[in-house]
Amino acid sequence: MAANSTPVPLLTPYKMGSFELSHRVVMPPMTRNRSYHNTPQPHAIEYYAQRATKGGFLISESTSASDISNGSPNMPGIWIEDQKEAWKPIVDSVHGKGGVFFCLNNFLIAWNAGRLSNSSLNNFLIAWNAVPDDGEYFRPTPKQLGANELPLIVNDFRIAAHNAIEAGFDGVEINSANSYIIDQFLNDQINDRTDEYGGTIENRCRLALEIIGSVMEEIGADRVGVKLSLFSEVHGKKDSNPEALSTYLASELTKLGVLYLHVFEPRDEPRCLKSTRKAFEGTLIASGGYNKTEGDEAIVESYADLVSFRRLFLANPDLPKRFEVNAPLNKHDRSTF
């Protein structure tokens, strides 16, 4: 099938900092739970290489920063040498195709699971406060993190970022989204702390900015992206003013010089990122169930610079090419997730 004669907005080049991208179709993080004993497996080489293109941007699956930050079983880590070495051939496979590869700090860069950590995975449970979770994960009441413990988490993120760069990744994305530890601090309906990490927007953003700042000092601002989902709920509770929170945090991240923001839009709030777009001066990646037409529109309207596609990229490893030639798309098979 011949390529379209008219340019496809999603397939136009884009310069993200020092990275020359050939198109704007991003492969976002997708948790796989296939890294036995928290060590990336050789089969991941094919998984990522299949989805890599010359000048394409990929972000790895969630990767733990330490042995107490495993949010689900068989999640890859990057806190010890063996894990770092196991990532190297995977990263090399993406670079061999000419792709740009960031590690999700979900750490991958690295992440601390907080309330979402399953009690069977850790010797103890930690969270931003001591409120029990009524859902499937947190049966017991979690231990509240003391302010003196937070620097340890900051340091875990820093070390994981260092290891990611040593493994060959081009940069890291810090997961400040999806109900994990940073997101828990940001949300005023979840964070009930009374110290300098709770209350005002400035206080609730303190941990995020400390982590991001530490990582930037370690590997450079031009290698750091941040994932956000401030318009979504954290365990059924939504921040009382996500627009104000998003605007403040985006402004602070602009001051720090963060390379990009990767922001999730809930399906019931499409185009909610306008204030974020206005406040942030770096690259904005929109995420949230986009199809090709919607992605093209977001680029044409400068609503976003790049667009990430999860299920479409999972079911169609050659997604940018299919967009180029307007080929049919495979439907994802949820039973294999």
Q: Which residues are catalytic?
A: 180
Residue 232 near residue 183, CB atoms below 8 Å: no
Cα separation, 94 vs 83, whole angstroms? 17
User: Which residues are paired to 264 by β-bridges?
Assistant: 287
Q: What's the chain look like in SS3?
A: CCCCCCCCHHHCCEEECCEEECCCEEECCCCCCCCHHHCCCCHHHHHHHHHCCCCCEEEEEECECCCCCCCCCCCCECCCHHHHHHHHHHHHHHHHCCCEEEEEECCCCCCCCHHHCCCCCCCCCEECCCCCCCCCCCCCCCEECCCCCHHHHHHHHHHHHHHHHHCCCCEEEEEECCCCHHHHHHCCCCCCCCCCCCCCHHHHCHHHHHHHHHHHHHHCHHHEEEEECCCCCECCECCCCHHHHHHHHHHHHHHHCCCEEEEECCCCCCCCCHHHHHHCCCEEEEECCCCHHHHHHHHHCCCCCEEECCHHHHHCCCHHHHHHHCCCCCCCCHHHC
With b meaning 16 or more CB within 10 Å and e meaning fewer, what string describes 269-285? eeebbeebbebbebbbb
